């Protein structure tokens, strides 16, 4: 049993319940046994004085392998950035991916993340089992993991963006995707590993692959993910090639529904927002990556008001080198207010995006995303009494509006992953060394 006492508790339950000084008790089964105001009545608990306890953050969009290629194509739009990096990514292998994923996941844990997705869509023919490599990295770090088996089959010779040597044969991609689900997916309520299906994007995937991937996901009972409506270039591509908007194209292919979440969703007209809301299709909002690539300001307030499920993502580390999920709470608030003014998003709404919002996108809202009795004990205790935060009396505002907060404790299913700002499951220095070596090996051959 783990008892946390004397902390401010933001439960992020449906009522937004908060306790200025409260407690949480975690049972031996890794689930929350009690939560409430005041002391717990148990002796010997963890003293959370000066801290805020929240649900663990949920990262709903990432490309972990990109940790090995950070800092490149710094001033390009999305299409220029991709064109620059595809030839490099075509040389990745399981060793590169494992090292990059370990570093990226370790950094996510230090930023308050307890559950992360990954969208991996580059599978070099001689690269080994890159999906297994990142799954092993997640096990080592100890995060709850929702990787998606991506794919690309629309090479440059067919009018797509990626070079032909980094795309797969359509049938081979579908077969490998089904095999990945069969091998790795665990649907149990306390699952540490669930697999999704994620053809990359309209400009790198054929209509056939998109359609058959959706059918495969529904036959297997897993979720669907892809990039959509990220940039004006993508909008132009869809109108020129398919004669419709990206959301209309997704609808045509069977890619809208409560089992689908889309990365970015920046360029959406009113009809598209309404269509997402009507179908329950979710959006992974990636404010820092959208800013890094100059993609635009997503309509987060409009999406929320329409009833669209929205979560947060850091996106790939090569288009968002900070990759700090805790800071995305502030970035989401800033972006919303840049677009809609000071009332466009509150600090508590931003925290909800990063917790329950993300849990909903992944279909895990019954298991994680809020601090409620019976839910999995994925919790983060943020220290907010240091120089950077002391004096901001509203602890939720301190977390969201203040500088990046140190993680005093992060639990995943009641198991410590971070303590006093340090990883306890794996050596951070070793993660750094592996990632550095992978980066150098990959770039030395260019």
pLDDT (tens digit per residue) in 250-303: 999 999 999 999 999 999 999 999 999 999 999 999 999 999 999 999 999 999
R_g (Cα) of the chain, nearest Å? 21
HSE-CB at 444 with a 13 A cutoff on CA atoms is 7
Distance CA 164, CA 172 (A): 15
Query: What CATH code is assigned to 2-56+367-421?
Result: 2.30.40.10
Architecture of the 57-361 domain = Alpha-Beta Barrel (3.20)
266, two tokens: 């920046």
Task: For residue 409, give Cα distances in angstroms to 17, 45, 51, 106, 418.
Answer: 21, 13, 10, 14, 5
pLDDT (tens digit per residue) in 191-243: 999 999 999 998 899 999 999 999 999 999 999 999 999 999 889 999 999 99
This model's pTM is above 0.75: yes
pLDDT, mean of residues 332-351:
98
417, two tokens: 């992953």
What is the three-state SS of the chain?
CEEEEEEEEECCCCCCCEEEEEEEEECCCCEEEEEEECCCCCCCCEECCCEEEEECEEECCCCHHHHHHCCCCCCCCHHHHHHHHHHHHCCCCHHHHHHHHHHHHHHHHHCCEEEEEEEECCCCCCCCCHHHHHHHHHHHHCCEEEEEEEECCCCHHHCCCCCHHHCCCHHHHHHHHHHHHHHHCCCCCCCCECCEEEECCCCCCCHHHHHHHHHHHHHHCCCEEEEECCCHHHHHHHHHHHCCCHHHHHHHCCCCCCCEEEEECCCCCHHHHHHHHHHCCEEEECHHHHHHCCCCCCCHHHHHHHCCCEEECCCCCCCCCCCCHHHHHHHHHHHHHHHHCCCCCCHHHHHHHHHHHHHHHCCCCCCCCCCCCCCECCEEEEECCCCCCCCCCCHHHHHHHCCCCCEEEEEECCEEEEECCEECCCCHHHHHHHHHHHHHHHHHCC
pLDDT (tens digit per residue) in 37-48: 999 989 889 999
- What confidence tier does 361 reach under pLDDT thresholds 50, 70, 90? very high
pLDDT at res. 446: 46
pLDDT at res. 338: 98
Percent share of the chain, pLDDT over 90: 94
Sign (positive or negative) of CA dihedral 315, 319, 321, 326: negative
The yes-or-no verdict on residue 10 having pLDDT over 80 is: yes
Distance CA 412, CA 378 (A): 4
pLDDT, mean of residues 152-174:
92
Q: Where are the domains of the chain?
A: 2-56+367-421, 57-361
pLDDT at res. 445: 58
pLDDT (tens digit per residue) in 411-434: 999 999 999 999 999 999 999 999
- Is residue 238 a contact partner of residue 274, using CB atoms and an 8 Å limit? no
If we measure between CA atoms, which residue out of 312, 316, 242, 296 comes closest to residue 86?
A: 316
Q: What is the mean pLDDT of the chain?
A: 96
Do domains 2-56+367-421 and 57-361 share one topology? The answer is no
Beta bridge partners of 51: 383
Strand 196-199 vs strand 144-151: parallel, antiparallel, or unpaired? parallel
In this structure, how many other beta carbons lie within 10 angstroms of the beta carbon of residue 294?
11
In this structure, how many other beta carbons lie within 10 angstroms of the beta carbon of residue 150?
28
The yes-or-no verdict on residue 443 having pLDDT over 70 is: yes
pLDDT (tens digit per residue) in 175-184: 999 999 999 9
The yes-or-no verdict on residue 102 having pLDDT over 60 is: yes
pLDDT at res. 380: 99
């Amino acid at each position: 049993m783990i008892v946390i006492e004397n902390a401010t508790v933001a439960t992020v339950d449906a009522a937004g319940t908060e306790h200025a000084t409260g407690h949480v008790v975690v049972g031996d089964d890794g689930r929350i046994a009690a939560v409430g105001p005041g002391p717990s009545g148990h002796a010997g608990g963890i003293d959370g004085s000066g801290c805020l306890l929240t649900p663990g953050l949920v990262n709903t969009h990432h490309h972990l392998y990109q940790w090995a290629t950070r800092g490149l194509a710094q001033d390009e739009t999305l299409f220029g950035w991709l064109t620059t990096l595809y030839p490099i990514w075509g040389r990745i292998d399981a060793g590169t991916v494992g090292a990059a994923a370990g570093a990226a996941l370790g950094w996510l844990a230090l930023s308050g993340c307890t559950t992360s997705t990954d969208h991996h869509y580059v599978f070099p023919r001689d690269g080994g089992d890159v999906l297994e490599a990142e799954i092993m990295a997640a096990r080592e770090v100890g995060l709850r993991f929702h990787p998606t088996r991506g794919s690309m089959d629309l090479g440059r010779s067919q009018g797509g963006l990626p070079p032909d040597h980094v795309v797969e044969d359509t049938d081979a991609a579908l077969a490998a995707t089904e095999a990945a689900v069969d091998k790795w997916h665990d649907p149990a309520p306390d699952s540490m590993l669930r697999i999704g299906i994620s053809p990359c994007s309209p400009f790198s995937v054929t209509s056939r692959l998109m359609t058959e991937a959706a059918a495969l996901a529904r036959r297997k009972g897993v979720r669907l993910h892809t990039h959509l409506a990220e940039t004006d270039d993508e909008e132009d591509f869809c109108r020129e090639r398919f004669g419709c908007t990206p959301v209309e194209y997704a609808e045509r292919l069977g890619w809208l529904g409560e089992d689908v979440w889309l990365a970015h969703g920046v360029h959406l007209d009113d009809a598209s927002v309404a269509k997402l809301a009507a179908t329950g299709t979710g959006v992974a909002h990636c404010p820092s990556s959208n800013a890094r690539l100059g993609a635009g300001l997503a309509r987060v307030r409009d999406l929320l008001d329409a009833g669209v499920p929205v979560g947060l993502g850091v996106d790939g580390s090569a288009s968002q080198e900070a990759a700090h999920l805790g800071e995305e709470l502030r970035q989401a608030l800033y972006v919303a207010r840049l677009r809609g003014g000071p009332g466009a998003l509150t600090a508590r709404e931003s925290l909800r995006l990063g917790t329950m919002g993300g849990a909903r996108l992944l279909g895990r809202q019954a298991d994680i995303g809020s601090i409620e009795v019976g839910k999995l004990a994925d919790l983060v205790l943020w220290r907010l009494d240091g120089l950077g935060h002391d004096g901001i009396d509203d602890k939720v505002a301190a977390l969201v509006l203040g500088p990046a907060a140190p993680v005093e404790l992060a639990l995943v299913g009641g198991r410590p992953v971070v303590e006093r700002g340090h990883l306890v499951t794996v050596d951070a220095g070793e993660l750094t060394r592996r990632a550095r070596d992978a980066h150098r090996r990959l770039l030395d051959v260019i």
